[in-house]
Amino acid sequence: EVQLVQSGAEVKKPGESLNISCTVSGYTFTRYWIGWVRQLPGKGLEWMGIVYPGDSDTRYSPSFQGQVTISADKSISAASLHLSSLRASDTAIYYCARHIQAYYYDSSGYPHSSYYFDYWGQGTLVTVSS
Amino acid sequence: EIVLTQSPVTLSLSPGERATLSCRTSQSVTNNFLAWYQQRPGQAPRLLIYDTSTRATGIPDRFSGSGSGTGFTLTISRLEPEDSAVYYCQQYGTSLLTFGGGTKVEIK
């Protein structure tokens, strides 16, 4: 059974940093992209970025590029999301999700990858407050 | 960035009724790469449909997806109480993945 188990809820002060972990089981960690999705309070879903544990290749949404760091540790089958210089606006639930890769071709015939999410962690609530 | 607009925002129906949820995109979705997720209160999202119409593992056949280009639909043929949730569409026809704002389905 595929499982993604995230670290527990966090309360942080503005300016602090934070790591959220996502430990997986039930599949070969290095064979699937895994990434993070943010859900602001009472709002929808935003894709943040992904890592390929096989070679640590990472890709970020432009909205989160430079704001977060995503990594993976093959030795413990875990992905991590690092948030630094936290602000109140970072208060949200953060989900890890296993990504399934799909391929499409642009108008020049060049292949690109894209993803949907087949398994999700339970979510980690991050509260940033002074 | 492809923008996804879901309608209606809220849908209130009785058990056994049919629910039709719409997802419109700001540009055509390559290969009709569109997925649907269900998020029950206090839970993580769950994959229902991918590639517009393929049900994910373990999803009952009363959930179905259809559409192409810029218009997509999730249909729940016979609502059950446990279908009370927010449903999101997501496109993956570009490398920048985006979600719709969600449709809340309430069971009377």
pLDDT digit of tens for each residue in chain A (130 aa)?
Answer: 999 999 999 999 999 999 999 999 999 999 999 999 999 999 999 999 999 999 999 999 999 999 999 999 999 999 999 999 999 999 999 999 999 998 888 889 988 888 999 999 999 999 999 9
Q: Are A10 and A18 in contact (CB under 8 A)?
A: yes
Query: pLDDT tens digits for B37-80?
Result: 999 999 999 999 999 999 999 999 999 999 999 999 999 999 99
CA distance B88 to A100: 17
Count of other CB atoms within 10 angstroms of residue A72: 25
Suggest the residue from B49, B87, B97, B104 to mutate for an interface test with chain A (most A CBs closer than 10 A): B97
Q: Are A79 and A15 in contact (CB under 8 A)?
A: no
Closest partner CB to A113 (pick from B45, B47, B95): B95
In the 8-state DSSP scheme, what is residue A16? -
Phi, psi of A31 (to 5 degrees): -100, -5
Q: For chain A, list residues whose CB is within 8 angstroms of any CB belonging to chain B.
A: 37, 44-47, 59, 61-62, 95, 97, 100, 102, 104, 112-123
